[in-house]
Amino acid sequence: MRRVDTKNTFSKLLSLVIDVAIWFFLIGFAVFVLIPVVFMFTASLMPARDIMSIPYPWIPRTLHIQNFWQAIKGNDGKFLFPRSILNSLIVASLTTLGTVLLSALTAFGLAKYKFRARNVIFLIILSTMMIPFEAIMIPLYLLIVNIGWQDTYTGLIIPLIASAFGIFIMRQFFITFPDELIDSARIDGANEFMIFWKIALPNSKPAIAALSVLTFRAQWDNLIWPLLVVQSPEKKTIPLYISQFASEKYTNEGALMAAAVIASIPMIIIFLSFTKYFITGAELFTGRK
């Protein structure tokens, strides 16, 4: 791509200039993207006074570890932040687990079994993609209230596990899944559910991994649903806790940034260990892979 066959030096020079410009653009953009991240990390180690000083020091003069202690402890000293991290992990993991299993099961049924109205059902499922969560949050909230799932993990998780997108992805995958594997298992006497559990699931790890990562990321980020469902402090997820922590009277900027750092750590770990799936997950979305 970089070697263009041209004879005169002018266009070579031009090419070089463009190349340098592109590098500047890419690096400049990387700086823009990373500055807030660096700011968050450095500010988390500074007293509030330094964070708001002009110019911003960038390198903490002393390590103001108290910020982290205050963030963990919370203003009321009830250590609700660790609890909210746990809640977020629980809710995001269970939702992911539910979504993946349900999507795989449904997609397997749609891809590998012939029954009446199969295509209609698939279309109906796809049509739920048109319903934005924000449009149904209020009725959904009232529904949860009526079932009595208000302020429960169940209420946070169950309404979110059926995912048309997940079914779509998994179906794409299962369509190319070899029928011979299924047939030979059937001849060996396995029942249909065992075929799904023992043959289909273990052989679809890449698709499952990508879908898991996508779902986990989305649920980890969810603010609006817990905002409606959760009331008790012990059930708050991180986004909810953080937004509350920010509005408390005693919170200083340093502690807030420390909380932001701590809140980001689990996802950073997941991101670094599963980078591949974050990237392929996005690729799945264009429906090409």
Partner 1 sequence: MKGNKKRKLSLEKKIGLWGIIFVMPSIVLFSVFSFYPIAYAFVVSLYKKELLSLEAPKFIGLRNYIRLLQSESFWNSVVATLKFSVGTFIPMVVFSLLLATFILGRKRFQKLFQMMYYSPAIMQSAVAALVWLIIFDPRSIANQFMNFILRTRGVDYKWLVNENMLILSTIIVYFWKYIGYFTVLFLAGLASIPKEINEAARIDGASRFQNFIYITLPLLKPTTTLVSITAMIQCLRTFSTQYLFVQAGASIKPIEVITLNIYNTAIRDRNIGRASAMSVLLFLVIMILTVIQLKISRSEETYY
Partner 2 sequence: MFRKVLFVLLLVSVIISFGAKIQITIWTHEDPNRTRIEEKYIKEFMKMYPNVEVKRVTYPSDKIRDIVLTAFAAGKGPTIFNLEIQYAYPYITNRRVVPVDLNAIGLKSYDELKKLYVKGTLDAVTYGNMIYGLPLEITNWALFINKKYFREVGLDPEKDYPRTWEDLMRISEKLTIREGNIIKRRGFDFRYPYYLTFFLPMVEQLGGALFDKKGNPVVINDQAWIKVLNFMKEWGPNGKNLGSPTYPAARKEFNKDNNTIAMCESGLYQILRIKEENPKFYNSNEWMVVNWPIWKDAVKDVRCNYYGHYYMVNMQASRPEREMAWKLIWYMLSHPEEYLTEVGLIQPRLSLMQSEVFKKFPYANVFLEDLEKSHMIPLHEKDPQIEQLLKEMVESVMLSNVSPETALNTFKKKLAQLMEE
Q: Which stretch binds partner 1 (CB under 8 A): 59-67, 78-86, 204-212, 257-265?
A: 257-265
Tokens of 275: 């980078």
Partner whose footprint covers residue 49, from partner 1, partner 2, none (CB < 5 to 8 Å by kind) = partner 2
Q: How far apart are CA 182 and CA 72, in angstroms?
A: 51
Give residues 174-193 in contact with partner 1 (rule: CB under 8 A): 192-193
Q: Which stretch binds partner 1 (CB under 8 A): 62-70, 78-86, 134-142, 202-210?
A: 134-142
Tokens of 75: 């203003």
Question: Is 194 a binder of partner 1 (CB under 8 A)?
Answer: no
Q: Which stretch binds partner 1 (CB under 8 A): 67-75, 78-86, 202-210, 276-284?
A: 276-284
The count of other CB atoms within 10 Å of the CB of residue 234 is 12
The binder of partner 1 chosen from 118, 184, 198, 248 (CB under 8 A): 118
Per-residue contact track with partner 1, 227 to 246, x per CB under 8 A? xx---------xxx-xx--x
Question: Is 11 a binder of partner 1 (CB under 8 A)?
Answer: yes
Question: Is 20 a binder of partner 1 (CB under 8 A)?
Answer: no
Is 254 within 8 Å of 64 (Cβ atoms)?
yes
Q: Which stretch binds partner 1 (CB under 8 A): 60-68, 74-82, 130-138, 203-211?
A: 130-138
Q: How far apart are CA 220 and CA 196, in angstroms?
A: 28
Question: Is 275 a binder of partner 1 (CB under 8 A)?
Answer: yes
Task: Count residues binding partner 1 (CB under 8 A).
Answer: 102
Question: Is 156 a binder of partner 1 (CB under 8 A)?
Answer: no
Question: Is 143 a binder of partner 1 (CB under 8 A)?
Answer: yes
Residue closer to partner 1 by CB (options 90, 267) is 267
Cβ contacts of residue 260 below 8 Å, gap of 6+?
40, 44, 242
The count of other CB atoms within 10 Å of the CB of residue 113 is 10
CB of 180 to partner 1, least distance (A): 15
Q: How far apart are CA 173 and CA 122, in angstroms?
A: 15
Q: Report the interface residues with partner 2, using CB under 8 A.
A: 48-49, 52, 54, 75-76, 141-142, 145, 150-151, 227-228, 231-233, 244, 247-250, 252
Question: Is 72 a binder of partner 1 (CB under 8 A)?
Answer: no
Residue closer to partner 2 by CB (options 171, 236) is 236
The binder of partner 1 chosen from 16, 175, 181, 282 (CB under 8 A): 282
Question: Is 274 a binder of partner 1 (CB under 8 A)?
Answer: no
